[in-house]
Amino acid sequence: MKLITDTIAPRAGAAVAVDAILCFSALVLAASTLAANSARVPEIFPQLPLTLASAAIFALVMATMYALVGLYRPGTISLGATVGRVTLAMAAGGYLTNLAMGAVGVPESVATLILTLVYLCLGLLLVRTGGNVMRRVSPLARVLIVGTGPEAYAIARELASRGEMSRDVVGLYPSVGLAAPELSGSGLHVFPEGASIPDLVALHGIQEVIVAVREQRGGGVPMDQLLACRIKGVPVLDFAGFCEKTKRQVPIDSLKGSWLVYGHGFVQGSVRTFVKRLFDIVSSIILLVLLSPIMIATMIAVPLDSRGPVFYRQRRTGLGGVEFTCLKFRSMFVDSEKDGVARWAVRDDPRTTRVGAFIRKTRIDELPQLLSVLKGEMSLVGPRPERPSFVAQLKDQIPFYDIRHSVKPGVTGWAQVRYHYGATFEDARRKHQFDLYYVKNNSLLLDLQILIETVSVVMFREGQ
């Protein structure tokens, strides 16, 4: 039963935990300070349960607000943008918490929250500064790469970049019988072919082994030595597993069908299907009610801006390769494909109307698809449905493309929150790697994460 799984990146999970502790501590400290200053120390203990409950609510609300404004997403944003997003999160979180505190009868909730936010700002400054210093001085995890081919050097280059993937590449271990290529200018050390991998791990303090060899049969990879490392607790990953763990995507260029067959994931049990369907129905009804004013305004604006219908209907490929009619607010001029040739939608597409440009950037044009979610043709979260004419091309050129059709297509998806707006075949290949990750690891927790990240993508036009 795969309702919830570990899909949160370790660094993001740690950040959420630290922020929640900071928020909880700030409110408890603020309440204690105000009680002491007003000579009501004896009243602290009777109020303690309400204070702790309010602190827990504040921590939960603020962690949610931080996530909604994109503070836990991968990548870096400028200092100014970070301050702006934190301020927005504090304003919204403080208001919601004040309502909750008033509802449970916590006295002087406004004064408590103001002092809480002051303490929280000081705590954030200290923790973030300390965290940055620790990351700079802390040693990187030491890695040995088995292989000296293109995949090995591709991994080494990515590990040298900054971010969650950063590692200290101790060296490369050549495959048996394969000569090491010319290393001039690479800066990478290649160990002798006869060296013992377990001995290298112990000697150099290696914490992770990555196997980057395309063909592992025929004794090219010393499996007995890798097993010895694994038994001692040293993680051993192949290229696909490494990318899945660190980049949250599944590479297709060197992917083998056996890795998909024998690996974990791809759980589509009846319980998971039932919970996802129930979640889709409840969430789509709520969203249709909440967003109805925006949808009504769009229905008025679209025909006023350009002649033609309000909605645009297009055939898309869904679950099991079955086609369905995808409904969107019309964002392009009528007869934009009057020659009958399907074209990728591109950024700043000249076929787009003025209203259409706005509703595309804000994703408002996708809202009618909530009706498809209610009908069961789509899900809130899943790979974006593609046009049948494009599917026919992509299936011939992208490995394992049909796997995306093993789940319902979604209004939003993992590729939409982790990759920029794509309008080329290469973009389709890159997005498919994220879609494969979703299909393999889909869970309720991952769905919630995608929905939360979608809010920041829309609010701040990330990936435009």
Cα–Cα nearest to 144, from 218, 75, 222: 222
Cα(142)–Cα(159) distance, rounded to whole angstroms? Answer: 10
Q: Checking phi first, is residue 143 left (phi over 0); if not, alpha (psi -120 to 50) or beta? A: beta
Q: Checking phi first, is residue 321 left (phi over 0); if not, alpha (psi -120 to 50) or beta? A: left
Helix and strand element counts for the chain (H, E)? 17, 8
Q: What is the pLDDT of residue 372?
A: 95
Q: Where are the beta strands (DSSP E) in 20-154?
A: 142-146
The single-letter DSSP state of residue 385 is P
The single-letter DSSP state of residue 310 is S
Query: Do residues 278 and 373 touch, judged by C-beta distance below 8 A?
Result: no
Q: What is the pLDDT of residue 257?
A: 75
Cα–Cα nearest to 249, from 2, 5, 9, 4: 9
For 451, the enclosing helix (H) or strand (E) is: helix 444-459
Q: Which two tokens stand for residue 232?
A: 């001692």
Q: Which residue has tokens 């290949």?
A: 429
pLDDT tens digits, the chain, 464 residues: what are they? Answer: 444 444 556 677 888 999 999 999 999 999 888 877 655 545 544 567 788 888 999 999 999 999 999 999 887 678 888 889 999 999 999 888 888 877 766 665 788 888 999 999 999 999 988 888 887 778 888 999 998 888 788 888 888 776 667 888 999 998 765 545 544 445 788 898 888 999 999 999 999 999 988 666 555 688 899 999 999 999 998 888 888 888 888 888 767 777 777 667 777 778 888 999 999 999 999 999 999 999 999 999 999 998 999 999 999 999 999 999 999 999 888 876 665 566 666 666 778 899 988 998 889 999 999 999 999 999 999 999 999 988 988 988 898 999 999 999 999 999 999 887 767 788 889 999 999 999 999 889 999 999 999 999 888 877 65
Cα–Cα nearest to 211, from 220, 198, 202, 200: 220
Cα(159)–Cα(188) distance, rounded to whole angstroms? Answer: 12
Query: Do residues 70 and 460 touch, judged by C-beta distance below 8 A?
Result: yes
Q: Which residue has tokens 């502790």?
A: 21
Residues 6+ apart with CB under 8 A from 301: 355
Residues 6+ apart with CB under 8 A from 438: 381, 382, 383, 407, 413, 414, 415, 446, 450
Cα–Cα nearest to 308, from 345, 335, 276: 335
The single-letter DSSP state of residue 43 is G
Cα(250)–Cα(439) distance, rounded to whole angstroms? Answer: 10
Backbone angles phi, psi at 17, to 5 degrees: -65, -45
Burial of 281 (0-12, 13-18, 19+ CB in 10 A): middle
Is the alpha carbon torsion for 59, 288, 428, 409 positive or negative?
positive
Q: What angle do CA 143, 145, 149 make, to 5 degrees?
A: 155
pTM: 0.84
Q: Where are the beta strands (DSSP E) in 198-355?
A: 208-211, 236-238, 311-317, 323-329
Backbone angles phi, psi at 107, to 5 degrees: -70, 150
Angle between helices 10-37 and 44-68 (to 10 degrees): 150
Q: Which domains does the chain have, with CATH numbers?
A: 10-137 (no CATH), 142-247 (3.40.50.720), 270-459 (no CATH)
Residues 6+ apart with CB under 8 A from 82: 71
